[in-house]
A and B are shown apart, each in its own frame.
Chain A
Amino acid sequence: MGATSGSMSVAKFWVEGEVPKDPRRTFMSRIQLRRFRPLVPEEDVEERYGWCALGQPTDLELTTGKTFQNEYLTLGLRWDRYKFPASLVNAQLAESMQRAMARSDKETLSRNQKAELKQQVLRKLKQKYFPSMRMVDMVWNFDRREVYFWSHSSALRDRLFACFELSFGLELVANSPYAAGLKLLPGRQNQQALQQVELEAFHGSR
């Protein structure tokens, strides 16, 4: 479910910082730099994230026409990672260690040898299995300085924060009762009142 179909679960963020006057020209090359690059089993990388086209995790040909639509910047955040069950990794590692100890006629292996064997096991597993893939739509309204992100996952949100800041040099502030209060009731006195507000008890006799 995302920006263009289905029911919606969205997180909202405010964009902090100065947006360039011509975001299309300024941002397009920076978006290309943070475009998603698929994982390769031979790499010692367990996960990677980056931008793809809105709603299209396999469409990595990002053009101005796809990315900028009227007042909106639209992208998908794709996050791929290799995630193997610990029991599978441990079983394969135990087998590898047994073989290594038999070959060297030793009863134990050094920490470095174990680490090297684990990397070999992971490399073999990466050859055999595809990484898991997640993609979440993101829509940024330049006029309102608001970003909507179709996930409430904190892991995905952390990656959005990082990718957004690296791509645009701007910070995102998550919606919350406090952040919304600052936006809706600006001014120093309101800010002070908001900082001093305390939880009330509504129950019991008083």
Chain B
Amino acid sequence: MDLVDRIETTRFLGNEFLLWLWFAGDVTGGKHEAGEHGVVEVSLESQLKLTDPLSARESISMRGDDPFGSAEADQALKSGKLPAKVLLRLKQGETEWLATLTGPSLALSGIKLPALLNEAADDPLFERMRLLEQLDELIHELYRQFLTVRLSSSWAAELLPALRQWVAGKVTLDHAGWMRIHQGAKSPRKRAARR
């Protein structure tokens, strides 16, 4: 399988990442320990698109106050659809971003950066780039955390059953359990290095 095929056949990981963020919102209130970035608060906002990962044409899009708590979203998850595009609010300390994240491509659109510290600067490029790169780092750090668990044995043993229960309507994992799974999960590479 060449690189292009691998990229195309693993795009579902982006959908699963969005599902993981959604689940984390219910379990941890959206608070993530993001390594050197400190605590990052993630909330899913007024825009949600769900697709069937096996057939992207099968999709449902919702906008409103709380599409994630809607009966339509619940039904779509129960019928096998996964989130494909969400509006995210990320908060790190006093700094806050708003952006639409498309799972299968990890593409960002409609990004609203925090207010610039120096609005009067002749060339806002540097500050805008710093804030954009910071947002990108945060999202990739969250994705790294998801992927570390996704590729570990904790996925099949603990997180996947909890996710299935949640999709069925039961939250069986608490904050402490979430932290234990994510802090305990080591990527295959790290496990091998420790042997």
Query: Which A positions have Cβ atoms within 8 angstroms of B?
Result: 3-5, 7-12, 54, 69-70, 72, 74, 139, 141, 144, 146, 148, 152, 174-181, 183-190, 192-195, 197, 199-206
Contacts and interface: CB of A to CB of B under 8 A. Distances in A.
25 contacts: A5-B124, A8-B113, A9-B109, A9-B111, A10-B108, A12-B108, A69-B126, A72-B125, A139-B125, A141-B133, A175-B105, A176-B14, A176-B104, A177-B11, A177-B106, A178-B10, A180-B143, A187-B189, A189-B187, A193-B187, A194-B151, A197-B10, A199-B54, A202-B163, A205-B168
A148 B111 CA distance: 13
B7 interface: yes
Given A176-B11, A190-B188, A197-B10, A144 B108 contact: no
Given A152-B109, A181-B147, A187-B189, A202 B13 contact: no
Interface string B181-192: 000000111011
Interface of B: 1, 6-7, 10-14, 16-17, 19, 53-54, 77-80, 82, 103-113, 123-126, 128-129, 132-133, 136, 140, 143-144, 147-148, 150-151, 160, 163-164, 167-168, 187-189, 191-192
Question: Which of A144, A174, A194, A206 has most B Cβ within 10 Å?
Answer: A194
Contacts of B189: 185-190
A200 B143 contact: no
A113 B111 CA distance: 53
Contacts of A197: 10, 13, 150-151
A74 B123 CA distance: 13
Instruction: Identify whether the interface residues of B are mostly helix, strand, loop, or mixed.
Output: helix
B101 to A, nearest CB: 11
Binding site secondary structure of chain A: mixed
B77 A189 contact: no
Given A177-B17, A190-B189, A4 B128 contact: yes
Nearest to B19: A202
